[in-house]
Amino acid sequence: MNLDYTELLHAFLPEASLIIGALVVLGLDLTIARQHDAATRLTTSVWIALIALAAAAYHSFHAGTGGDAFGGVLVLDSLTRATRLGVLVLAGLTLALAPGVSRLRHPAEYVAIVLFATCGFTVMAAAQQLLVAFLALELASLSLYVLAGYDKSRRESAEAALKYFLFGGMSAAFLLFGFSLIYGLTGSIEFGEIAQQLSVMPANPLLVVALVMVLVAFGFKAAAAPFHLWAPDVYAGAPAPSAALIASASKLAGFTLFVRLLWVGFGPSAGAHSTVSAPGWITIVAILSAVSLLLGNLAALAQGNVRRLLAYSAIAHAGALLLGVIAAGRSGPGPLFYYAATYGLATVGAFGVIAVVERSGRCQQLTDLAGLHRRSPLLALCLLVFVLSLAGIPPLAGFFGKFIVFAAALKLGGLGTSAGWLALLAIAMSAVGLYYYLLILKQALVAKPAAAAGPIAVNAWSACALVAAALGLLVLGVLPSLLLRQF
């Protein structure tokens, strides 16, 4: 294998920018910024981090779409580029929310860890080899565990971090075990070679075990039912910006890695769309998708806590994303990416609104949002956009995401395939979903504010981030080709 290290450097320039940014943030905070108060240190760190993100975005954009890099360990294609840019934007929005919302004890470290996590996401976007994929996933996950437990003053935050860590560690073990079986069976850790070996290999029960292990692990990471149990507690307990990152950028990067691993690596064992008699991973993914759609939407109906409600809605959306994974084999990753990216944008926004509300009191129960239209018309309007996008109402991007994923699923063979029926299930469940999304909006836009609740001040950082996210959803919803033509 001819390894060209300049090629590697070129491919990893975005990651290099992020790591350098994180080190500068940490270094500055240790030295010059020591005397300043926490707010200044946070703002400075966020500025530096945004510059690092911008540099990373620049390099991601110019990394090109040349295909395999560094002997096939990484791949630079349109999906890599789009996912990298997507996670950078989502991380940027998350960071921009931080100054407005949190009274974090160690602001610079928080910002640096967000950058490390983002670095993990961007590597996930490019990984095309089991080891790199695993390392990237763990870099991202370890950073997210810390971010979930960052609010040391609240027990819920610690509980969230512990749960997330235990479930995540468990899923990492599953993943590694599955990967090692794959390696044992095929003698390779590179996606392309694995696929070659699988296509000539006779049916093997060990392969089924390996596939199940990998899918279980991804089920945990993506919060797909029945491996979703950590999600409601983490979404409810983690500091709002951390929850936003976990729910958005991490999902986007995870699904990019997932779709690549399954179709590029395990494509030959996909199984047929139309029958269950030729078992492959499509059957397992379809089951995960159906269970997630049902459980996520139905459990969300019963939630009184807005963050837990968003968690169950995330599980439901994971079900739709898994449907996009199945459909990606024929339609390409475009629909899946569009759905994941716009879902991420809406989720960051929704958690952003919660985060801002939290500054002037609790924001856990739905009723904590009561009368938001009086307390801050801007927040109420933004929340309307985010929640309606999650519900899939046009002209917002969430609608088009649903449309394109379901259309791709139905194109696999109409109602002759499990994917077609899943699409119908998902459409039916979106009608259920509107109910709980309207419950959020009812509090925010219809209910009267509680007597003690005063106006909410929104600082410039949060306002910019929220308005940008809302406009993004509107623009991408009206002009979906802006994203789709990247593929």
Partner 1 sequence: MNALPWTIYLSFAGAALALVAGARSAAAARGVALVTALASFGATLYTAASFVPTKGLQTIVNTPWVTELGIRYHLAADGISLTLLVLTGLAATAGVLFSWNITERTGEFFALYLALIGGVYGVFLSADAFVLFVFYEIAIVPKYFLIANWGSTNREYGAMKLVLYSFAGSALVLAGLLWAYAAGGGRSLALADLATAAASFSRPEQLGMFALVFLGFAVLAGMFPFHTWAPTGHVAAPTAASMLLAGVVMKLGAYGCLRVAMPLFPVGFAYFQPFIAWLAIAGILYAGLVALVQDDFKFVIGYSSVSHMGFVLLGLAAANSQAVSGAVLQMFSHGVIAGLLFAVVGRMVYERTHTRQLADLRGLPLHRLMPFAALTFVLGGLASMGMPGFSGFPAELTILIGTWKTSPLWATFAAGGVLVAAAFTLRVIHVSFFGNTAAATTCAVPDHPYAPISWPEKAGALLLIAATVYVGLKPDVLLNWITPALQSPLMQAVLKGGQP
In the complex, least distance from residue 131 CB atom to partner 1, rounded to whole angstroms:
35
Sign (positive or negative) of CA dihedral 188, 190, 191, 195: negative
The nearer residue to partner 1, 450 or 482, going by C-beta atoms, is 482
Nearest alpha-carbon partner for 341 in 145, 121, 61: 121
In the complex, least distance from residue 480 CB atom to partner 1, rounded to whole angstroms:
5
> Is 51 strand, coil or helix?
helix
The nearer residue to partner 1, 225 or 388, going by C-beta atoms, is 388
In the complex, least distance from residue 424 CB atom to partner 1, rounded to whole angstroms:
5
In the complex, least distance from residue 484 CB atom to partner 1, rounded to whole angstroms:
5
Distance of CA 288 to the CA centre of its chain: 17
In the complex, least distance from residue 435 CB atom to partner 1, rounded to whole angstroms:
6
The nearer residue to partner 1, 103 or 442, going by C-beta atoms, is 442
In the complex, least distance from residue 365 CB atom to partner 1, rounded to whole angstroms:
18
CA distance 46 to 320: 33
Tell me if 346 sits within 8 A of 314, measured CB to CB.
Answer: no
Footprint on this chain of partner 1 (rule: CB under 8 A): 334, 373, 377, 388, 393-395, 399-400, 403-404, 406-407, 410-411, 414-415, 420, 423-424, 427-428, 430-431, 434-435, 438, 441-442, 445-446, 480-481, 484-485
In the complex, least distance from residue 353 CB atom to partner 1, rounded to whole angstroms:
17
The nearer residue to partner 1, 395 or 449, going by C-beta atoms, is 395
How would you label 353-383 residue by residue, b for 16+ Cβ within 10 Å and e otherwise? Answer: bbbbbbbeeebbebebbbbbbbbbebbbbbb
Tell me if 470 sits within 8 A of 349, measured CB to CB.
Answer: yes
Place of tokens 């993943």: 175
> Residue 169: CB partners within 8 Å, gap ≥ 6?
none
DSSP state of 449: P
How many Cα atoms within 13 Å fall on the side-chain side of residue 38? 13
The nearer residue to partner 1, 14 or 398, going by C-beta atoms, is 398
DSSP state of 129: B
Nearest alpha-carbon partner for 188 in 137, 264, 121: 264
Q: In this structure, which amino acid lies at residue 376?
A: S
The nearer residue to partner 1, 123 or 422, going by C-beta atoms, is 422
The nearer residue to partner 1, 132 or 463, going by C-beta atoms, is 463
